[in-house]
Structure formats: C-alpha cells, structure tokens
Amino acid sequence: MNPLFSFKFKDESVWRNLTNFWTFVFIAFTVLDFFLKNGLDFLVAPMSVIYIGILGLYVGTKEFDRWYDLHTSRHPGELFVFFWTVIVFGLIILSVILQDGYRVSTEIIATYIMVLSVFALTQKSKRLYERKKTQKKKK
C-alpha cells in the first residue's frame, strides 16, 4: 500500500491536522477577501462549507472518542475561538475605519458563529462527561 494513503481517517490526529490546515487557509482567505473588497466572494461559501464540515468531523470524532474513553490528547478549542474572534473583530473595526467597499462577508460571520457553537457544544459535552465520570467513581 502507498505510504501516503496508509493513514487512517479514524485517527483523531488526521482530522486535527486537516482542521488546523483548513483553519489557517480559511482565515488567510478571509483576510485576503476582505482586502480585495470581497473580490473572491464567489469562493467564500464553498470554502466555508468545507471548513465547517471538516471542523464538524474533527469535533465529532473527538467527542465520540471522549465518551468511549478513547480520547487522551488535549487540543484546546479556545485557540480556534480566540483566533476567529480577533480576525472577525479586527475586520469589522477595519471595515468601519476604511469604509469604501471594505466589508466582512455574511458567510464569514456565519462561519464565526458556527465555530462558537461547536466550541460551546464541545464544552458542554466535556462537562457532562466529567460529571458522569465523577459519579461513576463515587459508586
């Protein structure tokens, strides 16, 4: 078998690396599109769907692993939320300052809201899992 294709998509690190890659690419694309005055607007929705899809797959596999006691690594989602918050807030401020056609795409705002939602859901799942685990230990 070709070593390039020998990795397993059930391995969390593959999804984490793919998510990290697409996060970097999509954030860079978001900034570029803003400074091109939404000149790449036709690509925002498709790239957003790809990014949110990959993020969802990564988080989903991570949460399933957590609930089946297979998740051992720590990769805080706070960093994703922090970077997205800085970028979106910065672009909104710049759009107010620069005006003249500089605006944040509504798809970018929707993506930001999805990132926040995914983070909130994973935090809730993590707390529920920890509560369940604590209750198990008490029995």
Q: Is the pLDDT of residue 120 over 80?
A: yes
Task: At 21, list the tokens.
Answer: 């890659």
Q: Is the pLDDT of residue 9 over 70?
A: no
131 or 115, which is more confident?
Answer: 115
pTM of the model: 0.79
Q: Is the pLDDT of residue 48 over 90?
A: yes
130 HSE (CA, 13 A, CB side): 6
Exposed (0-12), middle (13-18) or buried (19+): which is 133, by Cβ within 10 Å?
exposed
- Percent of the chain beyond pLDDT 90? 54
The answer to whether 88 and 112 are in contact (CB under 8 A) is yes
